[in-house]
Structure 1
Amino acid sequence: MNRRPFALDLDRSLGTAAGTIDRREGDIVRIGSAGVTGVGEATPLPGWTESLDDCRAALDAVADADGTLLEAAAATPLEPLSTAPPVVTAPLDDTPAARHAVESAALDALGRLEGRPLASLLADAPAPSVPVNATLGDASPEETVAAALDAVDAGFDCLKVKVGVGDLDRDVTRLRTVRAAVGSDVTLRADANGAWDRETAEEAVEALSSLDLSYVEQPLPAADLSGHAGLRGRGVDIALDESLTAATVADVLAADAADVLVVKPMALGGPARAVGVARDTLGAGVDPVVTTTVDAAPARTAAVHVAATIPDVRPCGLATGDALETDLAPDPVPVEAGTVAVPDGPGVAGDAFDDLIGRGP
């Protein structure tokens, strides 16, 4: 296995309550064995994943495991590292972005070997396409409305608005003016990235309940599961994202803390692991929604396959390619009218990413 570093600037800064994202750095990894090659992406985002240095150290620690990784993926595609020896899995235990790249590359290689798309390795009847939302960063009410109308004109019928950077009154004004501008047929979400305390979150839910919001995402800090549970049933669904960095999925579900769980394959440690989380979530009566961590094309494409395995999935946060000034390769999963088609070539996207790190095993 080898890796190639990359860095991509965002086309525009993405303002969130957790900070501003301007640049994404990571590595493309390649696994070659049995005459096939698989490609995966590690793009860590501290706060959700390990640091870039820790990610690269973990990848280097498993650099000689190509054949072992492909054999493990072939044995159990839904748990592709479960039969690999501890010397391979241990460096990846606390480095989800590195694990994502390794798992993705192994599954990509397996899909190419068997001539099957990634989604077909992970589910019996994956969907041919998935709905996606547009994400609107923090901005003035006027700028937010303009961005919302542009997104609707582009075919999106679901919008997620970043909130929590300014005060609550400003955010309520932004959401109210967006709702008035786009009408009742457009699904509207708000994402606070854990910015509010309990009092503010309660005020927000009360103020936003009249706007027919689909959900408010991560209104409270990640560890406050009981606070999130207390916000449920007040007219706006509660979605959790960052809470998965502070608690296990089982803890979140046991606390009845969410109506919706945001599933980030990069933060969870790989596409197969994300599919497992989505299935557990559905089994508990909670809806999973798949999003990226503003990744490059390989990880974004793998995430589309994950979303395709979820029956009747809600619009997902996968329309993030245009956030990048440039990408690593032509996009195999372009957004058209708020929908993304799932690639039907072998592996993640056939040979779409071969030139990123060289051809052949």
Structure 2
Amino acid sequence: MTEVTRVEITRHVLSYCSPIVTAHGQLLQRPVVVVALSDDQGNTGFGEAAPLNGFTTENIDQSEAAIRQWFSADQPEGPPDLPTARAAIDGAFFDLHAQQRGLSLHQHLNSESPSRLPVAALITGSSTDALVEQALQRQAEGFATLKIKVGAGSFAVDLERVAAVRSAVGGRMALRLDANGAWCPDEALRNIEKLFPFSLEFIEEPTAGLAGLAKVRKGAVFPIAVDESAGDLAGLRRAIDLGSGDFFILKPSAIGGLVVAEQAATMAAQAGLGVVVTSLLESSHGIKLAAHFASARGLSDPAPGLATAELLTQDLGCPSPISNGHLSLT
């Protein structure tokens, strides 16, 4: 491999077209750090550090400092400890090495991997009517899976919104919910029972904490997905031991990059959990890395949650095209 001749570390602010409201709060802007590694052949690999409250323990200042310290060391001893810093460095090197081989990243990782994969769309309308309008638009665009955030307000409103979307799109479209740990276990079980008529694919984080998720899973009428309650490999192992979920939501940008994501995917699969690759609502630099990983690892069912670049007012990278609900990899 050609040596890296230039390292650029830059901070940016991502802005979203409309507020993304979750049980963790409202997201309208957030800082990220982009790592760009170039060689003398004109190749540049990109990685992104995108700490996010509720999903990562480090903040942007800590992540950027860890990245700069790693590159300033004469001989770094292993990757940074902070997952988002590691993800940015890891991603930039993988991207650069794939370009140096003249391959797409997914082919660099797995020569037999597909160049297209189905993706789920996150719908975020501020009212029930707006949510239904967006759901119908995504259905017309060919998406087969929708995701709705719940838990930020009253459950009565959540129930109304979910019912309206299911009625509008019909029964063939997959519908998943994400409560981001908003409900206590008993409340989660009551709410999930009321959601029974709407044929959910699964519900993410109906309560916070792995013990609570295990309790909910035992009585739930839908599959349960573990996300931010298992933010690292140790957390995933505990989730498996406790029986906290049927699915594991894998965010490469949050867990430490592609190497750690591969370890997590293997651990989850060996334990019988389904693996759903999703973005961290970062720019296309991070989304692309997650998409190429999902393709290389064969993680396309359930559909990865990677149709999120369009939520940004301005992207930092070139977004992968999406047609008929499928994302194309280059």
TM-score w.r.t. length of structure 1? 0.83
Once the 2 structures are TM-superposed, how far is the Cα of residue 33 of structure 1 from its aligned partner? 5.4
TM-fit CA distance, 1:253:
1.2
Contact 1:8 1:324 in 2 (8 A): yes
Task: Quote the Cα distance in structure 1 between the aligned partners of 2:127 and 2:276.
Answer: 27
The answer as to 2:24 corresponding to 1:18 is: yes
Correspondence for 2:289 among 292, 295, 302: 302
Question: Within 1, Cα distance between the matches of 2:69 and 2:235?
Answer: 26
Match of 1:227 among 212, 223, 232: 212
Segment of structure 1 superposing worse, 193-202 or 116-125: 116-125
Q: Could you say which residue in structure 1 is the equivalent of 2:318? A: 330
- Distance of aligned partners of 1:329 and 1:34 in 2 relative to their CA distance in 1, 3 Å threshold: closer
Q: Which runs of 5+ in 1 are unaligned?
A: 69-84, 344-361
Cα deviations by residue, 1:74-127 (Å, 9 ceiling, x for unpaired): xxxxxxxxxxx52x53xx11x211111100111122212222322233335322
Counterpart in the other structure of 1:141: 128
> Contact 2:23–2:182 (CA<8 Å) still a contact in 1?
yes
Q: Deviations over 1:230-270 (max 9, x none)?
A: 22253201011111238621111111111111101110111
CA–CA distance in 1 between the matches of 2:54 and 2:11? Answer: 21
- Map 1:206-245; keep pairs closer than 5 Å: 206-221=193-208, 223=209, 225-232=210-217, 234-245=220-231
Q: Post-superposition shift, 1:293?
A: 1.1
Aligned partners of 2:202, 2:175: CA distance in 1, in Å? 8
On the 8 A contact 1:2/1:63 being kept in 2, the answer is: no
Q: Distance in 1 between matches of 2:9 and 2:288?
A: 19
| 1:118 equivalent in structure 2 | 105
> Aligned-pair distance for 1:161?
0.7
Does the C-alpha gap of structure 1 residues 226 and 138 become closer, same or farther in structure 2, counting only changes over 3 Å?
Answer: farther
Q: How does 1:208-287 map to 2 (within 5 A)?
A: 208-221=195-208, 223=209, 225-232=210-217, 234-245=220-231, 248-287=235-274
> What per-residue deviation string (whole Å, max 9, x for no partner) do you get for residues 30-61 of structure 1?
23458554221122213322101101110110
Which residue does the alignment assign to 2:309? 321
Q: Equivalents in 1 of 2:245, 2:40: separation in Å?
A: 44
Q: What SS does the corresponding residue of 1:294 show, helix, strand or coil?
A: coil
Greater mean alpha carbon deviation, residues 229-238 or residues 302-311: 229-238
d(CA) in 1 for partners of 2:243 and 2:302? 20
Note if contact 2:24-2:53 (Cα within 8 Å) is conserved in structure 1: no
Contact kept in structure 2, 1:238 and 1:259, CA below 8 Å: yes
User: Secondary structure in 1 aligned to 2:315?
Assistant: coil
2:15 alignment counterpart: 9
Whole-angstrom distance in 1 between the partners of 2:110 and 2:237: 22
Q: How does 1:18-167 map to 2 (within 5 A)?
A: 18-32=24-38, 37-49=44-56, 50-64=58-72, 85-86=76-77, 88-89=78-79, 92-93=80-81, 95-123=82-110, 125-137=112-124, 139-167=126-154
CA distance in 2, matches of 1:28, 1:227: 36
Identity level (%): 32
The residue aligned with 1:81 is none
Report deviation, 1:140.
Answer: 2.8
Please give the secondary structure, in 2, of the residue aligned with 1:325.
coil
Unaligned runs of 5+ in 2: 1-6
Q: Which residue of 1 aligns with 2:4?
A: none
State the Cα distance separating 1:143 from its structure 2 match.
2.3
Structure number with the bigger relative contact order (C-alpha 8 A, sep ≥ 6) is: 1
Q: Given the two structures, how large is their TM-score scaled by the length of structure 2?
A: 0.90
Q: Distance in 2 between matches of 1:283 and 1:43?
A: 29
